């Protein structure tokens, strides 16, 4: 109809007539659209990155576990001490059947999480170091986390005090026991807070002097172990890749150690220290001269020379001594003094000495205390406090793409389901058979499971002995599954499919519950959530501010038009028509500006997606799920940003326009009132 | 029947804490087809009175009947229709739509009413523009016109719908005497041929001489007829 054309014509003409004003208001709208689209895309890219780092590493999208579990499932470890009791899935095959039948489910993996120890580099050194850093930085959260770790280590040292006997003379052991009981006494850790950094530091010194040596020689370290169907795992989790060694061949038993743990704990301490110093100085541009913490590290390094000298045979020592003398330009004949001098690195020498170390010394010592391909005793703790050792071959080390540098992730290690069951303290078919043989031999009619297990490997959880005593049952091996990871085809459907799965499992009465990845990830999931919250809040603020600016601009622009609105009303234009004209004008302007703004956002994100945004801080590495974030933008962001700006602009126009259309035309014609 | 009837019309403007009384009780009747001039000194209330009759403002008290309808009781939509179909208003300050050219400004009320075909509409617009002598300025914007030319656009726009009542607030104030006279001629002709009712405000004695009836107001009240 002509009236409609009139409205369009006036709106368009008005836009053109007020070119300068239109351009200015349009620019504001474009900037608003750009901001919303750009930061929206950035935010969801971060969200996807963080989420996939978790879901594609171990958690899957959903996790299923015992409905009556005593503790919540925390795959990456929680804040709590000791191992969690998440119950077990009684009939995993039934669960898998139910889950796999749902459209959208890609895979269902059996899992179990437990703790184990191996001998390796002293973990308490690292913890004490972290504690020192957090006291110095006044970082309460990090301090709390590290304190929990230190406490756990000390407690397990106290429990595991049998190893002390192997360490030293009786008097020394007595001293250690006293130190341990002091460190496990109630209230000991309370003094370790930021209120009095001096006291906290001296407490750390005490730990360094009295506790560290025990672990130092024991070199006990803790592994968070995830037992799973390794074939399926290596296939289903895209971010998994082997760094050293090889994947566990199908059907074989064994362990894959997290590469970070391997580097941090298993590597020769001198090599490790040099690595850290080199990275700090060469890669991060820090300075030993300016950083007391690095100086401290160098000081410790010079005292750790025995970790090298003890490992060298006379021939090796001679070669190394020659090389060092040449490098240092020294005539020193005492090897230890030479080595100490070499290890006293500074900013100028670290790069060259690091290189020399790897060239001359590393090939002549055992660089990693647990070589790839070797079988090691993995030691698991049962609830009754017994330790059992499960021989396990180290096939290699692995990393999770994107989480390599994420300091929050403690490093999860992978074992096959049989190894896991044994670590966890449940007997496999072979052991069951052995047990019944043993029983026959000993002639015990009824034996409690605890006793039997203690006889076999020194411990295990209390369970009815009947199950263990039935040899026919031993024939068919039922794997122990504590939880199950469900991988979906589409991340968008997590909540929807969680509901479906939950319902079906409930209907099948399998005694299990379903949680999403965020909940299952424990601290890591919470961190992802907090980070997302912070991002969303800051985005909301930026968003709010830009919308207020858009609102103001549109209000001002419309107020300028009030006399015109009065005129149209005076010559017979109905309220609806004037409002339509003004709103249409805004819509046209907002669409053009929105296309421009969103277009620029697409270009900007596209460019950033090519180059990548560097993660300048460690925390960002986790968020970005890698060294760089490669953001993507999709139609949803473009549509959303344009719609939001359009709606805000129209509402900001509508209000003054409707007000102007309500007053008598002469009043409006006179202008602002 | 009277086409305009005012009874006890009072218009007050609030001015801060004060109240300015622009009209203090006007009683007045204008018959269909009359050619009336409202005369009075500056500030006497001429514009205020025309605004009330032209339904672009509302009285504080009293009743204003236009074409038999009590404007105080009409809805906004009905008042707007009344303005569109029955009234033509030539404002003292012209009030043209700046983004539209001469032709479009004049055509505007016709588009709103939507009664004519595009062909008829164009013919009517052009004939009126011709009558006010702006054929040359057809596609110029108000900003590109002189005060007198703008006034003539406003006159053409007021007349284009062929309204029953034309209100003109000092329609010749910005015109030279020649153009002024020809405009008055046009209006008188419309008055004669179409029976259009004209209500003017002016202090121009030349214009007053054409009027059949002169209502003098002073300080918001009718002084004499
Ligand atoms: N919006 C307003 N607010 C306050 N007072 C007003 C307003 N409009 C008009 N007045 C006052 O009302 C009175 C009548 O004004 P009006 O404009 O009707 O006079 P007028 O006769 O048209 O004058 P002129 O010949 O100068 O146009 C004047 O005193 C004027 O100051
Ligand atoms: Mg006036």
Atom of ligand 1 nearest to the CA of B220: 14
Indicate if A564 and A663 belong to the same structural domain. Answer: yes
Point out which residues pair with A70 in neighbouring strands: none
Q: What percent of chain A has pLDDT over 70?
A: 82
- Decide which of A214, A235, A264 is a domain's last residue: A214
Could you tell which of B39, B46, B173 is best to mutate to test the pocket of ligand 1, judged by most ligand atoms within 8 Å of the CB? Answer: B46
Tens digit of each residue's pLDDT (9 = 90 or more) over A214-235: 654 546 667 788 889 888 888 8
C-beta of residue A539 within 8 angstroms of C-beta of residue A38: no
Q: Which residue has the tokens 């110029």?
A: B140
Indicate if A530 and A652 belong to the same structural domain. Answer: yes
Does A303 map to a domain? no
Lowest mean pLDDT among A331-345, A539-553, B81-95: A539-553
Does A306 map to a domain? no
Question: What is the total residue count of chain A?
Answer: 673
Confidence bin at A406 (pLDDT 50/70/90): low
Closest by CA position to A419, among listed A108, A118, A217: A118
ipTM: 0.94
Interface touch A570/B89, C-beta < 8 Å = yes
State which residue of chain A sits closest to B163, comparing Cα positions. A571
A 558-577 near B (Cβ less than 8 A): 563-564, 566-575, 577
Q: What is residue A155's predicted lDDT score, i.e. its pLDDT?
A: 76
Closest by CA position to A522, among listed A190, A233, A113, A128: A113
In the predicted structure, residue B123 carries a pLDDT above the cut 80: yes
Confidence bin at A264 (pLDDT 50/70/90): confident
In the predicted structure, residue B225 carries a pLDDT above the cut 60: yes
Q: Does A467 touch chain B (CB under 8 A)?
A: no
- Give B2-224's CATH code, choosing from 2.60.40.10, 3.30.390.50, 3.90.105.10, 3.40.50.300: 3.40.50.300
Minimal-distance CA residue to ligand 1 atom 17: B47
CA distances from A227 to A38, A424, B53, B186 (A): 41, 10, 91, 101
- Decide which of A180, A214, A248 is a domain's last residue: A214
Q: What percent of chain A has pLDDT over 90?
A: 18
Confidence bin at A136 (pLDDT 50/70/90): confident
> What's the total number of domains in chain A?
2
Which residue in the set A3, A665, A669 is minimally distant from B114, CB to CB? A3
Does A84 map to a domain? no
Ligand nearest to the CA of B60: 1
Which residue in the set B84, B99, B109 is minimally distant from A13, CB to CB? B99
Rounded to two decimals, the pTM is 0.65
Q: What is residue A453's predicted lDDT score, i.e. its pLDDT?
A: 45
In the predicted structure, residue A445 carries a pLDDT above the cut 50: no
Does A26 map to a domain? yes
Indicate if A663 and A568 belong to the same structural domain. Answer: yes
In the predicted structure, residue A673 carries a pLDDT above the cut 60: no
Interface touch A3/B97, C-beta < 8 Å = no
Q: Which residue has the tokens 């009065």?
A: A566
CB burial readout A271-305, b (16+ within 10 A) else e: bbbbbebbebbeeeebebeeeeebeebbeebbebb
Q: Exposed, middle or buried by CB within 10 Å (0-12, 13-18, 19+), for A475?
A: exposed
Minimal-distance CA residue to ligand 1 atom 28: B43
Indicate if A30 and A132 belong to the same structural domain. Answer: no
Tens digit of each residue's pLDDT (9 = 90 or more) over A533-552: 887 887 788 778 878 888 88
| Average pLDDT for chain A | 80
Tens digit of each residue's pLDDT (9 = 90 or more) over A10-39: 888 888 878 888 898 899 899 989 988 998
Q: Which residue has the tokens 């930061």?
A: A39
Question: What is the total residue count of chain B?
Answer: 225
Does A151 map to a domain? yes
Which residue in the set B95, B100, B113 is minimally distant from A570, CB to CB? B95
Does A661 map to a domain? yes
Cβ(B40) – ligand 1 distance below 6 Å: yes
Minimal-distance CA residue to ligand 1 atom 13: B22
How far is the alpha carbon of A571 from chain B, nearest alpha carbon, in Å? 6
Indicate if A661 and A535 belong to the same structural domain. Answer: yes
C-beta of residue A481 within 8 angstroms of C-beta of residue A226: no
Torsion of CA B112, B118, B121, B122, to 10 degrees: 130
In the predicted structure, residue A422 carries a pLDDT above the cut 80: yes
Does A240 map to a domain? no
Structural domain range at position A137: 123-214
- Decide which of A155, A180, A214 is a domain's last residue: A214
**B170 alpha carbon – ligand 2 mean position (Å):** 7
C-beta of residue A463 within 8 angstroms of C-beta of residue A449: yes
Q: Exposed, middle or buried by CB within 10 Å (0-12, 13-18, 19+), for B171?
A: buried
Indicate if A535 and A641 belong to the same structural domain. Answer: yes
Q: How far apart are CA B182 and CA B180, in angstroms?
A: 5
The three-state secondary structure class of A114 is strand
Among A8-17, A437-446, A523-532, B17-26, top mean pLDDT goes to B17-26
Could you tell which of B12, B16, B38, B43 is best to mutate to test the pocket of ligand 1, judged by most ligand atoms within 8 Å of the CB? Answer: B43
Q: Give CA A58 to chain center in angstroms.
A: 11
In the predicted structure, residue A82 carries a pLDDT above the cut 60: no
Give the mean pLDDT of A300-305: 83
Measured at the alpha carbon of residue A322, what is the angle toward residues A321 and A326, in degrees to the nearest 5? 115
Q: How far apart are CA A601 and CA A606, in angstroms?
A: 8
* DSSP single-letter state for residue B142: G
Tens digit of each residue's pLDDT (9 = 90 or more) over A579-591: 998 899 899 999 9
Q: What is residue A177's predicted lDDT score, i.e. its pLDDT?
A: 81
Q: What long-range pairs does A127-132 form, CB within 8 A, spacing at least 24?
A: A127/A153, A128/A204, A128/A207, A128/A208, A128/A212, A131/A192, A131/A200, A131/A204, A132/A201, A132/A204, A132/A293, A132/A296
Which residue in the set A9, A567, A666 is minimally distant from B51, CB to CB? A666
Q: Which residue has the tokens 């020194």?
A: A458
Q: What is residue A343's predicted lDDT score, i.e. its pLDDT?
A: 94
Query: What are the structural domain ranges in chain B?
Result: 2-224
C-beta of residue B39 within 8 angstroms of C-beta of residue B206: no
């Amino acid at each position: 109809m002509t009236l409609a054309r009139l409205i369009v014509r006036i709106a368009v003409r008005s836009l053109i007539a007020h070119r300068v004003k239109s351009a200015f208001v349009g620019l504001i709208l474009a900037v608003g659209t750009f901001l919303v689209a750009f930061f929206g895309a950035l935010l969801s890219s971060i969200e996807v990155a963080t989420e996939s780092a978790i879901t594609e590493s171990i958690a899957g999208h959903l996790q299923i576990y015992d409905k009556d579990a005593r503790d919540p499932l925390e795959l990456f470890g929680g804040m709590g001490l000791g191992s969690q009791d998440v119950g077990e899935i009684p009939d995993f095959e039934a669960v898998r059947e139910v889950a796999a039948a749902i459209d959208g489910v890609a895979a269902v993996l059996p899992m179990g999480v437990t703790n184990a120890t191996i001998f390796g580099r002293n973990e308490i050194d690292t913890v004490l170091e972290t504690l020192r850093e957090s006291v110095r930085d006044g970082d309460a959260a990090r301090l709390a986390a590290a304190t929990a770790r230190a406490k756990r280590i000390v407690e397990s040292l106290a429990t595991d005090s049998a190893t002390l006997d192997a360490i030293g003379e009786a008097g020394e052991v007595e001293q250690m026991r006293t130190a341990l009981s002091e460190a496990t006494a109630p209230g000991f850790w309370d003094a370790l807070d930021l209120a009095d950094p001096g006291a906290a530091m001296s407490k750390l010194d005490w730990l360094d002097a009295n506790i560290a040596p025990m672990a130092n020689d024991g070199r006990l370290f803790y592994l968070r172990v995830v037992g799973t169907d390794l074939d399926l795992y290596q296939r289903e989790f895209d971010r998994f890749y082997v760094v050293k060694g090889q994947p566990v061949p199908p059907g074989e038993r064994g362990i894959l150690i997290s590469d970070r743990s391997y580097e941090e704990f298993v590597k020769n301490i001198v090599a490790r220290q040099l690595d850290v110093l080199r990275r700090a100085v060469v890669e991060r541009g820090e300075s030993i001269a300016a950083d007391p913490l690095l100086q401290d590290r160098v000081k410790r390094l010079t005292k750790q020379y025995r970790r090298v000298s003890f490992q060298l045979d006379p021939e090796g020592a001679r070669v190394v001594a020659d090389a060092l003398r040449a490098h240092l330009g020294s005539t020193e004949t005492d090897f230890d003094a030479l080595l100490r001098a070499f290890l006293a690195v500074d900013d100028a020498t670290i790069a060259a000495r690091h290189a020399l170390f790897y060239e001359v010394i590393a090939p002549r010592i055992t660089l990693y205390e647990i070589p790839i391909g070797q079988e090691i005793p993995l030691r698991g703790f049962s609830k009754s406090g017994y330790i059992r050792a499960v021989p396990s071959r180290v096939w290699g080390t692995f990393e999770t793409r994107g989480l390599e540098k994420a300091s929050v992730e403690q490093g999860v290690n992978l074992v096959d389901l049989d190894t896991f069951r044994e670590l966890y303290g449940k007997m496999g078919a072979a052991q069951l058979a052995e047990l019944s043989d043993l029983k026959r031999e000993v002639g015990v009619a009824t034996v409690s499971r605890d006793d039997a297990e203690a006889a076999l490997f020194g411990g295990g959880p209390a369970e009815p002995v009947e199950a263990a005593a039935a040899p026919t049952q031993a024939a068919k091996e039922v794997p122990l599954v504590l939880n199950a990871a469900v991988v979906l085809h589409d991340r968008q459907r997590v909540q929807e499919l969680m509901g479906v799965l939950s319902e079906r499992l409930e209907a099948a009465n399998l005694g299990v519950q379903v949680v999403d990845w965020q909940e299952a990830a424990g601290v890591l999931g919470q961190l992802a959530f907090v980070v997302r919250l912070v991002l969303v809040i800051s985005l909301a603020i930026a968003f709010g501010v830009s919308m207020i600016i858009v609102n103001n601009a549109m209000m001002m622009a419309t107020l300028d038009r009030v006399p015109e609105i009065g005129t149209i009303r005076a010559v017979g234009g109905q309220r609806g028509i004037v409002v339509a004209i003004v709103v249409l004008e805004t819509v046209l302007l907002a669409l053009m500006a929105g296309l421009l703004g969103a277009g620029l956002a697409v270009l900007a994100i596209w460019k950033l997606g090519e180059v990548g945004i560097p993660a300048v801080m460690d925390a960002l590495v986790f968020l970005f799920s890698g060294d760089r974030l490669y953001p993507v933008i999709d139609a949803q962001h473009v549509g959303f940003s344009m719609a939001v700006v359009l709606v805000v602009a129209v509402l900001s126009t509508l209000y003054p326009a409707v007000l102007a259309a309500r007053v008598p035309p002469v009043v409006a014609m006179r202008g602002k009132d | 029947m009277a086409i305009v009837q005012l009874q006890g019309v009072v218009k007050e403007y609030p001015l801060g804490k004060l109240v300015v009384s622009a009209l203090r009780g006007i009683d007045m009747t204008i018959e269909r087809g009359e050619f009336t001039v409202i005369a009075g000194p500056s500030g006497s209330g001429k514009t205020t009175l025309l605004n009330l009759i032209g339904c672009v403002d509302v009285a504080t008290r009293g009743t204003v009947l236009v074409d038999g309808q009590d404007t105080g009781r009409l809805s906004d939509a009905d008042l707007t229709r009344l303005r569109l179909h029955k009234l033509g208003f030539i404002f003292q300050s012209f009030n043209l739509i700046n983004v539209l050219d001469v032709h479009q400004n004049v055509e505007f009320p016709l588009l709103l009413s939507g009664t004519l075909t595009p062909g008829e509409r164009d013919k009517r617009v052009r004939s009126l523009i011709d009558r006010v002598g702006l054929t040359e300025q057809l596609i110029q914007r108000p900003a590109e016109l002189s005060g007198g030319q703008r006034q003539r656009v406003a006159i053409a726009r007021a007349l284009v719908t062929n309204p029953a009542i034309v209100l003109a607030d000092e329609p010749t104030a910005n015109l030279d005497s020649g153009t002024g006279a020809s405009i008055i001629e046009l209006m008188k002709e419309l008055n004669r041929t179409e029976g259009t009712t004209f209500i003017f405000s002016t202090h121009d004695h030349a214009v007053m001489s054409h009027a059949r009836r002169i209502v003098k107001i002073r300080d918001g009240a009718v002084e004499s007829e």
